[in-house]
Structure 1
Amino acid sequence: MKKQNVRTLSLIVCTFTYLLIGAAVFDALESEYESEYTRIYEEEENFFKDHYNISTKEYEELRIILWKAMPYTNNSRQWKFPGAFYFSLTVVTTIGYGHSTPQTDGGKIFCMAYALVGIPLCLVMFQSVGERLNTIVTYLLRQVKKCFKLKNTEVSQTNLILVAGSLSIVVLTAGAAAFSKYEKWPYLDALYYCFITLTTIGFGDLVALQKGDLQTNPSYVAFTLIFILAGLTVISAAMNLLVLRFLTMNTEDERRDELEAAAAAQTAVRLDGDVITANGNVVSGAQESPEFNDVISVCSCSCYNLCPINSNKQRYKVTREPGKISHLLPMNSIKSKEDINSCGGDSNSISNYYSLSRKRASV
């Protein structure tokens, strides 16, 4: 089995194994918490129903009203230009928090068309910017190696991955510190928000720019937008390098196989329609071809074992698979059966014929 097939199968197995491990860990961490808080909220719900004499149906209607009114009661106008720009960014970057969604039919139709064009455009843009970033990092690393007078100044993909990973960590930690300050979040929640945002997972449980009117704090809005764009560029560059590293492994294996096949083809010898490689393996069987009629291909070693090929015209081929390619005279042949008869018809006569008629081919 080829290395590429083995690697693909291994990736499939590892992916499903990783999913199973993730499910088991999340189950262990979150299941008990979910059960506990389900019990607590049910007790509070029953308390409000009994205390204010609210029926279950009325309570459900109140819950829906509160849920729908949430975006409109936090003093944050989401569909003025700053909020609309923020929403557009979350669409084309596929973050999709879900904190605000189009409610009109026209808005929904435009959102689909806008995303259809904007997502590929954004992906290509981040890919191009990431490549330029990697080029700059490569140049800087080469100059640093020259300054330290290292013998090897070439920059490998591993070097780029390490640098991109370090930049990603810096962006995540610095952004978490800023959002922890502005949003009054615990640092871990802010770091979680930055990671979920820049990896475009976008759960929407934590969303920046939801406190107060966006138009009253333009500097913070600008910082958030720039952070998302710059952070996505750095994270995309790191992810692309990791993916590229795995893709080049497959490409290198395929190229190696092609080179080996080309080298084998160059060193192969065709013997009466059989292609025999340097290790003595017959690759293809004898083929009936008009240009080989009345031709006998002869082994140059001491075996000289000839047998007739079933054909209307008398032809012979070597029955022994030689162990080395030097045993073969490529395409050296006796043009007719009469040549063998004139030499006596035995293997020694054939050898004498070859020694007199032509020099042995060097292989």
Structure 2
Amino acid sequence: MALESANEEVEKREYQQRIDMFLESNNVNRTELEALLKYHAEKEKAGFVENKRPRWDFPGSFYFVATVVSTIGFGMTTPQTVAGKIVLIFYGFFGCAGAILFFNLFLERIITFLAFILRWLHEREMKRKGIGNDVKNSQERRSSEVSDTDSYDAWKPSVYWVMFILFFGAIVVACCASAMYYPVENWTYFEAIYFCFITFATIGFGDYVVSQQEAYPYVHFYRLGNFIFIVLGCCCIYSLFNVTSIVIKQFLNWILRKLNCQCRRRKPPPRGRRNAITPGHLQKNAKNTKPNNVTVDVDADSDSEGRRNSGEMISMRDFLSANKIALAMMQKQLWETSQRGMAHGSSSGFGGGVGPLMILNRKLGQDEI
């Protein structure tokens, strides 16, 4: 609001002054002029205005489909027929899903490649310091047991180095693309950089769109270069965003530790609670391994009959006698599941993940900050 509201008022005031001057000098009805301007804006958006290339020739249609499946959605071209909108819904669904799969595959491959490069640099640095022979011998001993792929997957590069390399790669792609865009589209270099970020991040405002003029020099090479830069830029920015999310997650975990927020800590049930059930053979292990675990005596009280008649929970002895085997098996499975969950993620904070986050958690070493 602070940055844009003042400029909005200035532009609105200038527009009204320009319209008033035109109406006074040409004696035109305001309602008719506004209807004409609205009609002109609609047709300009559809690509019918002079000096605009056809929107629905094959290159224009291909460009439109690419903006749909990549979720950029500039909005400079939209289907106007009912049949076109219906087809868009179907191929857009599968196309967007395929594009996300492609981005995830690119993310996994580029992280694997960067891990290979960073490992090579690490081994070279270790060798320069004179301790590379021991590392090499240990790797040779492990090579007889595991494959090269497993060996590289076991080594986790620093997430900060990966983020820096992806950031540098995205900057290089954006600068090269801007060097191609700004002279051809008659933009400033900053406008070209702005367009690259909006496009590569799949934001797609539509205020700047390439390949909209009627004619271009070397148009086929320009369209090919535009396609290559958009694909590379979207892949790089997508990978950079996901790696940056790992750093943000680590920062949030650091804040939680500083604030002493135990987000995932379970509160033990109060002592004497009657519906807390633990199998007998697990109570002994729990007492030996987890001193804070609370075990409850399940003997029946003398007032169990009265509580049963009053609608309260029945005693543990009555309940176990009716469901002894099934309940014991269920409790054993629940206890084992909880133990596995505590073993994999007992610390508080943000962890785990699906999709690209799972790929990064598996590929990168998440050094806590």
TM range (shorter): 0.5 to 0.7
The CA distance in 1 between the partners of 2:10 and 2:55, in whole Å, is 34
The CA distance in 1 between the partners of 2:282 and 2:73, in whole Å, is 66
* Cα distance change of structure 1 residues 271 and 43 upon mapping to structure 2, 3 Å threshold: closer
Match of 2:29 among 45, 48, 55: 55
Q: Which digits, 9 at most, give the CA deviation of each residue in 1:216-244, with x for residues without a partner? A: 71110111111111111111111222335
Identity score, percent: 29
Q: Which residue of 2 aligns with 1:86?
A: 63
Checking the alignment, whether the CA contact within 8 Å between 1:102 and 1:108 is kept in structure 2 is: yes
The CA distance in 2 between the partners of 1:206 and 1:272, in whole Å, is 67
Checking the alignment, whether the CA contact within 8 Å between 2:184 and 2:216 is kept in structure 1 is: no
For 2:298, the aligned partner's letter is Q
Q: Which residue of 1 aligns with 2:227?
A: 225
Q: Which digits, 9 at most, give the CA deviation of each residue in 1:150-202, with x for residues without a partner? A: 67985222221221111112222222222112212111111110000011110
Q: Which has the larger radius of gyration?
A: 1
Matches within 5 A, 1:2-13: none
Q: Which digits, 9 at most, give the CA deviation of each residue in 1:238-296, with x for residues without a partner? A: 12223355668999x9xxx89xx9xxxxxxx989989646785461222339xxxxxxx
Q: Which residue of 2 aligns with 1:8?
A: none
* Cα distance change of structure 1 residues 270 and 140 upon mapping to structure 2, 3 Å threshold: same
The CA distance in 1 between the partners of 2:297 and 2:237, in whole Å, is 58
- Paired residue secondary structure (2:3): helix
* Cα distance change of structure 1 residues 105 and 275 upon mapping to structure 2, 3 Å threshold: closer
Q: Which residue of 1 aligns with 2:120?
A: 143
State the Cα distance separating 1:144 from its structure 2 match.
Answer: 2.1
Q: Which residue of 1 aligns with 2:299?
A: 288
State the Cα distance separating 1:88 from its structure 2 match.
Answer: 0.4
Matches within 5 A, 1:1-363: 27-70=1-44, 71-73=47-49, 74-149=51-126, 155-213=157-215, 217-244=219-246, 276=287, 281=292, 283-288=294-299
The CA distance in 2 between the partners of 1:271 and 1:106, in whole Å, is 64
* Cα distance change of structure 1 residues 119 and 280 upon mapping to structure 2, 3 Å threshold: closer
Higher strand share: 1
- Paired residue secondary structure (2:157): coil
The CA distance in 1 between the partners of 2:100 and 2:282, in whole Å, is 55
- Stretches of structure 1 that go unaligned for 5 or more consecutive residues are 1-26, 262-268, 290-310, 312-363
- Paired residue secondary structure (2:233): helix
What's the TM-score, normalizing by structure 1?
0.62
Checking the alignment, whether the CA contact within 8 Å between 2:199 and 2:230 is kept in structure 1 is: yes
* Cα distance change of structure 1 residues 124 and 274 upon mapping to structure 2, 3 Å threshold: closer
Q: Which digits, 9 at most, give the CA deviation of each residue in 1:291-324, with x for residues without a partner? A: xxxxxxxxxxxxxxxxxxxx9xxxxxxxxxxxxx
Q: CA RMSD in A?
A: 3.5
The CA distance in 1 between the partners of 2:81 and 2:282, in whole Å, is 77
For 1:242, the aligned partner's letter is T
- Stretches of structure 2 that go unaligned for 5 or more consecutive residues are 136-154, 258-263, 269-279, 301-316, 318-369
The CA distance in 2 between the partners of 1:280 and 1:106, in whole Å, is 68
* Cα distance change of structure 1 residues 281 and 30 upon mapping to structure 2, 3 Å threshold: closer
The CA distance in 2 between the partners of 1:246 and 1:189, in whole Å, is 29
State the Cα distance separating 1:80 from its structure 2 match.
Answer: 0.8
The CA distance in 2 between the partners of 1:207 and 1:78, in whole Å, is 13
State the Cα distance separating 1:59 from its structure 2 match.
Answer: 0.8
* Cα distance change of structure 1 residues 149 and 100 upon mapping to structure 2, 3 Å threshold: same
For 1:88, the aligned partner's letter is V
For 2:10, the aligned partner's letter is E
The CA distance in 1 between the partners of 2:161 and 2:295, in whole Å, is 46
Checking the alignment, whether the CA contact within 8 Å between 2:283 and 2:295 is kept in structure 1 is: no
Checking the alignment, whether the CA contact within 8 Å between 1:176 and 1:190 is kept in structure 2 is: yes
The CA distance in 1 between the partners of 2:37 and 2:184, in whole Å, is 30
The CA distance in 2 between the partners of 1:286 and 1:271, in whole Å, is 14
The CA distance in 1 between the partners of 2:64 and 2:217, in whole Å, is 15
Considering Cα pairs closer than 8 Å and 6+ residues apart, tell me whether 1 or 2 has the greater RCO: 2
* Cα distance change of structure 1 residues 57 and 132 upon mapping to structure 2, 3 Å threshold: same
What's the TM-score, normalizing by structure 2?
0.61
* Cα distance change of structure 1 residues 47 and 249 upon mapping to structure 2, 3 Å threshold: closer
- Paired residue secondary structure (1:33): helix
Checking the alignment, whether the CA contact within 8 Å between 2:74 and 2:205 is kept in structure 1 is: yes
* Cα distance change of structure 1 residues 55 and 250 upon mapping to structure 2, 3 Å threshold: closer
The CA distance in 1 between the partners of 2:10 and 2:171, in whole Å, is 35
* Cα distance change of structure 1 residues 243 and 271 upon mapping to structure 2, 3 Å threshold: closer
